[in-house]
Amino acid sequence: MSFWKIAWRNMCQRALASSLTGLSMALGVALMILVIVIHDVTIEQFENDAQGYHLIVGGSKGGDLQLVMTTVFHLGRPLYPIPYSYYKKFTEGEFAQYTNVAVPYCLGDSYQGGDQQFRVVATTPDLFDRLPYGANPDGSDKLYEFREGRNFQTDHFFEAVIGSTVARKTGLKVGDKFQPTHGMSAAGDKHTEFTVVGILAHTGTANDRAIFANIEGFYLLEGHAFTPEEGEQAHVSVDKLDKEHIDPDDPNYGMKPLPESQREVTSILVNCKDELAPMSLDYEINKKDKGRVAQAVAPGGVVTRLLEGIVGPVRIILMVLTVLIIVVAGISILVSIYNSMSERSHDIAVMRALGASRTAVMGIILAESILLSLLGGLAGVLLGHAVLGIIGPYVEEHTGVALRFWDFNWKESLLIPGLVIFASLVGFLPALTAYRTDVGRTLGGAR
User: pLDDT digit string (tens) for 355-366?
Assistant: 778 888 888 888
What's the rounded Cα separation, in Å, for the pair 403 and 393? 7
> Does pLDDT of 447 surpass 60?
no
Residue 131 belongs to some domain of the structure: yes
**What pLDDT does residue 328 have?**
79
Among the candidates 262, 279, 297, a domain finishes at 297
**What pLDDT does residue 271 have?**
92
* Structural domains of the chain, count: 2
On whether both 375 and 251 belong to a single domain, the answer is: no
> Does pLDDT of 81 surpass 70?
yes
Among the candidates 297, 332, 354, a domain finishes at 297
Other Cβ atoms within 10 Å of 222 Cβ, number: 15
> Does pLDDT of 114 surpass 80?
no
On whether both 11 and 89 belong to a single domain, the answer is: no
On whether both 407 and 282 belong to a single domain, the answer is: no
Are 107 and 70 within 8 A, CB to CB?
yes
Are 380 and 325 within 8 A, CB to CB?
no
Burial class (CB in 10 A: 0-12, 13-18, 19+), 322: buried
Residue 302 belongs to some domain of the structure: no
Nearest to 105 by CA among 72, 133, 75: 72
On whether both 207 and 254 belong to a single domain, the answer is: yes
Could you report the per-residue pLDDT of 380-396, keeping only the tens digit for each? 899 989 998 888 887 77
> Does pLDDT of 106 surpass 60?
yes
Residue 388 belongs to some domain of the structure: yes
Could you report the per-residue pLDDT of 307-356, keeping only the tens digit for each? 777 777 777 887 787 788 778 777 877 777 777 777 777 777 787 777 77
